[in-house]
Amino acid sequence: MHLDHSETTAPQHHTSGAPARRVLGPPAPAGRATRRRALRVGLGGPVGSGKTATVAALCRLLHDELSLAVVTNDIYTREDAEFLLREAVLPPERITAVETGACPHTAIRDDISANVEAVEELEAAVGPLDVVLVESGGDNLTATFSRGLADAQLFVIDVAGGDDIPRKGGPGVTTADLLVVNKTDLAPYVGSDLARMARDARAQRGGKPVVFTSLAQEGGVRPVADWLRERVASWRAA
Amino acid sequence: MTRAALLVLADGRFPAGGHAHSGGAEQAVAAGRITDAAGLAAYCRGRLHTAGLTSAALAAAACAGADPLRLDEAADARTPSPALRATARRLGRQLLRAARAAWPAAELDALAGARPRGVHQPVILGVAARAAGLGPADASYAAVYEAVSGPATATVRLLGLDPFEATAVLARLAPELDDVAARATTAGVRAAAGGRTDVDVLPAAGAPLLDIAAEEHAVRTARLFAS
């Protein structure tokens, strides 16, 4: 079963109702007035599912093609930001970390002010940017990004977390613009049924796309990168 | 004027970034200075009468119409710790964003334009209160409550402190909040009297241990809170 292909659906329609918002910051610097601000993409998902690895892989694959920056929301350390720095996926001035006061979901949903500020500071410092990836701290299945922070969001789960997670649903699994099921290479070892996960995800998500990835393999992030390219294209066209 | 706007402004869920800050409680917990509800009460009392009083007077003065840029300088002079100055400006920027959405006002826009790197949060709090149709006493109350509610919430998360006990600590402090808010309001209104800005009449109460702890906290590698 070619999950990578069969589950990647056609271009996204803009159902999100997230039109260009009035930005309550200083006006864009001269010369950039006609360029739209960067597409803001949130990555959520449980601890250890591969959010940081996905960010790193996306940056490695796309940094020549898109102007990228990353905001991490570490829970109590700066390890995610430091991992990205150590891996040198982007220059350090393109990576910033936000503290979340033990409530990662609050920082991406209820009170987005620190994250919005971090995104705007990156755009001001190293812009113009095409995409800012905002990586949530690992959280539970209910964590979703506010539309005030993210124009699109992807939710990363993994096969080792149990193949019943798509069936359980929850806001992350059901509403994210893209569901990423990572670590498919581990499926045989943990007894996860990928076909079942695909079926359940389809049932929960009403046609929204699902991709299966194995970041351990060369080019494993490609399905996510393809989705991101499409979002960038429609963002620019809008 | 609407008093109910004070509930909106002082709500712990007002999206101005406060949830990620402990008001110094994280470092105090790490150093063993807060271990239980009694320790929290003592910490809150100390913060209220020092940083809380100073902040509330700045907020009241800003709300009474004093020049916010002069008040920002006065706040700098009253904040020895560079880490706390940076925190105050960051929280000021975040509060300004929320306030401009909640109570659009030319004064708030002008502040954002004049100081893109931010103004101390209590000053913004005062101008926001003014934009919301509130008075200097309301701004003081919002500031003094914030001075104690932040550490209380953070301590519940950091120590697993019983949330009922933590809330009871705040309730027992209420008469002192009244007292400090009243003193701050008097000073703030005086600072703005006659259309001038006299920052020298504003209190400059400080707590050296809060400043030192803030510097220690800023270089910690593992922490839950931004300050």
Local structure of A70: helix, strand or coil: strand
Q: What is the pLDDT of residue B81?
A: 98
**Residue to substitute from B11, B27, B87, B93, interface A, most A β-carbons within 10 A:** B93
**Mind listing the pLDDT tens digit for each residue in A75-84?**
777 778 888 8
- Structural element, H or E, at residue A235: helix A222-237
B19 touches chain A (CB under 8 A): yes
Helix B68-77 / helix B53-63 crossing angle, nearest 10 deg:
170
Query: Is A19 inside any structural domain?
Result: no
pLDDT, average across residues B168-179: 98
Q: What is the pLDDT of residue A6?
A: 39
B145, B10 Cβ separation under 8 angstroms: yes
Query: Is A209 inside any structural domain?
Result: yes
Chain-centroid distance of CA A185 in Å reads 21
Nearest to A55 by CA among A77, A65, A70: A70
Query: Is B26 inside any structural domain?
Result: no
Q: How far apart are CA A56 and CA B115, in angstroms?
A: 35
Q: How far is CA B227 from CA A62, A177, B35, B86, B222, in A?
A: 35, 34, 18, 10, 12
Query: Is A22 inside any structural domain?
Result: no
pLDDT, average across residues B34-45: 98
**Residue to substitute from B22, B91, B97, interface A, most A β-carbons within 10 A:** B97
Q: Is the pLDDT of residue A20 over 70?
A: no
Q: Is the pLDDT of residue A127 over 80?
A: yes
Non-local CB neighbours of B205 within 8 Å, separated by 6+ positions: B49, B50, B51, B53, B54
Among candidates B22, B97, B222 on the partner chain, residue whose Cβ is nearest the Cβ of A113: B97
A138, A111 Cβ separation under 8 angstroms: no
Residue A82 domain boundaries: 37-237
More confident residue, A14 or B99: B99
A100 contacts in chain B (CB < 8 Å): 20, 224
Position A96 confidence tier, pLDDT thresholds 50, 70, 90: very high
pLDDT, average across residues A39-52: 95
Chain-centroid distance of CA B187 in Å reads 16
**Contact criterion met (CB < 8 Å) for B19 and A107:** yes
B93 contacts in chain A (CB < 8 Å): 117
The total domain count for chain B is 1
B113 touches chain A (CB under 8 A): yes
CATH number at residue A80: 3.40.50.300
Q: Is the pLDDT of residue B102 over 90?
A: yes
Query: Is B137 inside any structural domain?
Result: yes
Q: How many CA atoms lie within 13 A of B53 on its CB side?
A: 19
A158, A182 Cβ separation under 8 angstroms: yes
Non-local CB neighbours of A237 within 8 Å, separated by 6+ positions: none
Query: Is A41 inside any structural domain?
Result: yes
ipTM of this predicted complex? 0.88
pLDDT, average across residues A50-69: 96
**Contact criterion met (CB < 8 Å) for A101 and B15:** no
Among candidates B98, B154, B222 on the partner chain, residue whose Cβ is nearest the Cβ of A76: B222
Instruction: Name residue, tokens 């790193």.
Output: A56
Q: How far apart are CA A16 and CA A160, in angstroms?
A: 30
Chain-centroid distance of CA A46 in Å reads 13
The total domain count for chain A is 1
**Mind listing the pLDDT tens digit for each residue in A154-183?**
999 999 998 999 999 999 999 999 999 999
Q: How far apart are CA A210 and CA A181, in angstroms?
A: 7
pLDDT, average across residues B52-77: 98
Q: Is the pLDDT of residue A209 over 80?
A: yes
Q: Is the pLDDT of residue A4 over 60?
A: no
Q: What is the pLDDT of residue A26?
A: 44
Q: What is the pLDDT of residue A138?
A: 85
In terms of Cβ atoms closer than 10 Å to its own Cβ (0-12, 13-18, 19+), residue B89 is: buried
Query: Is B10 inside any structural domain?
Result: no
Q: What is the pLDDT of residue B114?
A: 96
Residue A44 — φ and ψ, nearest 5°? -120, 175
Residue B142 domain boundaries: 36-217
B114 touches chain A (CB under 8 A): no
The shortest C-alpha distance from B94 to chain A (Å) reads 6
Q: Is the pLDDT of residue B55 over 50?
A: yes
**Contact criterion met (CB < 8 Å) for B97 and A106:** no
The shortest C-alpha distance from A26 to chain B (Å) reads 7
**Contact criterion met (CB < 8 Å) for A101 and B22:** yes
Query: Is B206 inside any structural domain?
Result: yes
Q: What is the pLDDT of residue A34?
A: 54
Q: How far apart are CA B111 and CA B127, in angstroms?
A: 9
More confident residue, B147 or A104: B147
**Contact criterion met (CB < 8 Å) for B94 and A112:** no
Query: Is B153 inside any structural domain?
Result: yes
Query: Is B8 inside any structural domain?
Result: no
